[in-house]
Amino acid sequence: MDVVTLGEALGVFAPSPSGALHAGGSARFAVGGAELNVAIGLSRLGHHVGWAGRVGDDAVGRAVRSVLRAESIDDTHVHVDPDAATGIYVKESVGLGRLRVSYHRSQSAATKMEGAEADFDYLLSGRILHLTGITPALSTSAEELLHQLMSEAARRGVTVSLDANVRHRLVNRRTPTQLLAPFLSAADLLFLSAEEGEELLGIRTATDAVERFADLRASVLVVHDASGAYAVDQDGVTTVTARALHVVDPVGAGDAFVAGYLSGHLRGWPVRQCLHLAEVCAAHVVTVEGDHEGFPAEAEAMAELGVTAPRAER
């Protein structure tokens, strides 16, 4: 396994054609979730990926497993909960290029994740374990599971990738900084949006990022937004500029960026090339409706980069 990821999958309902949801209208159904999107992206780029989590014994949960299998993602460690539903969210376009997203995930199957049922040998069987800040915000048991998992990953020498993915509506009685601080400090590869960088680490500029990088465990700190991204590592700062695009659907852009970067990292590419692949993947996703539907196949992404030997030796 190249990458194993753990998180929450969701059913996604979006009016079709795009707009606001109203009685008598039609809606497009898909599945999403930050970790699921990353898994799909990595699989399309030619990597062996596993996704683990909990879904309900319902139509949405079955759709999640169907998508995993269709995308050649290992689903052998998906737990089906007979007593809790799979979460959903509604994504509406409300004018001026803005989206309104409504989540319905309280007491979902994913909130019941806990260490007692987790197979740590499986979760840590990949070269990279990918996590997000969403999972510890779901419940106390999910938060404790991530603490245990990251601790064991460090003990076994497994690389941990963490995308902050702050969800303010999920955080209960704590700030995102209070909740996520121990996870940020334990990650080996750390991804933040520019907004999250400022909120969680006080990063406003690349100079700030260099200063904070010295206090982190991470070998690479990546900060991104719609204008581009920069990465900080032991060699300094590397920057990539995002191309000008007509954005159709921005949801999933960060997940696509992370998947692209991780793919380059798995291939042993230098940071600059990883950032370029990340930008290519994010650009493809935002120009197509859906959280991950626009993610490019490996050959397509490599052709755009001008890479003739797509796969690194394992």
Alpha-carbon Rg for the chain in angstroms: 18
Torsion of CA 74, 3, 296, 312, to 10 degrees: -120
The Cα–Cα gap between 108 and 2 comes to: 28
From 163, 188, 255, 291, the catalytic residue: 255
Cis, bond preceding 15 (omega within 30 deg of 0): no
Tokens at 4, concatenated:
């194993």
The Cα–Cα gap between 136 and 140 comes to: 7
Dihedral over Cα of 176, 177, 183, 188: its sign: positive
| 233 flagged as catalytic | no
By annotation, the residues acting in catalysis are 255
